[in-house]
Amino acid sequence: MEREYSEKVMDHFRNPRNVGEIKDASGIGKVGNPVCGDIMNLYIKVENDVIVNAKFKTMGCGAAIATSSMVTELVKGKTVKEAQSISNRAVAEALGGLPKIKLHCSVLAEEGLKLAIKDYLKKSGKPLDDVKK
Ligand code: FES
């Protein structure tokens, strides 16, 4: 059988990091993937402009779980501004790549993160202007 997923994808799929929710989250991003209907909720906790914690709940395929897990790892310790520039491709690359037909799954991670940041900025009364679409 052709090997489709990298070791890292399998690892993050089998042992996803940061599963769950943050009760007192600073921002929450809820997204659905129009391609397949899978959904993701991403929670971030921000202190002094730094993302100190991130968790997720994803009902989706293996690639969606793995990218959700990776994005929560990638954002921890980053400033809100730095986190805004994390793209779905960066998440996929951090996982050692995804099969082409599963690349759309990583869009959930990017959009979930962007929405969580937007939610945080809104709740904390910060300007939304520089949030990338
Ligand atoms: Fe739905 Fe992967 S098939 S996110």
Span 75-88, pLDDT tens digits: 999 999 999 999 99
Interatomic CA distance for residues 118 and 27, integer angstroms = 7
pLDDT score, position 26: 98
Atom of ligand 1 nearest to the CA of 102: 2
Q: For the domain 2-123, what is the CATH code? A: 3.90.1010.10
- List Cβ neighbours of 76 (8 Å cut-off, separation of 6 or more): 51, 52, 53, 54
Ligand 1 centre distance from Cα of residue 105 (Å): 5
Residue 34 has pLDDT above 70, yes or no: yes
Ligand 1 centre distance from Cα of residue 32 (Å): 10
Atom of ligand 1 nearest to the CA of 36: 1
pTM reported for the whole predicted model: 0.92
pLDDT score, position 16: 98
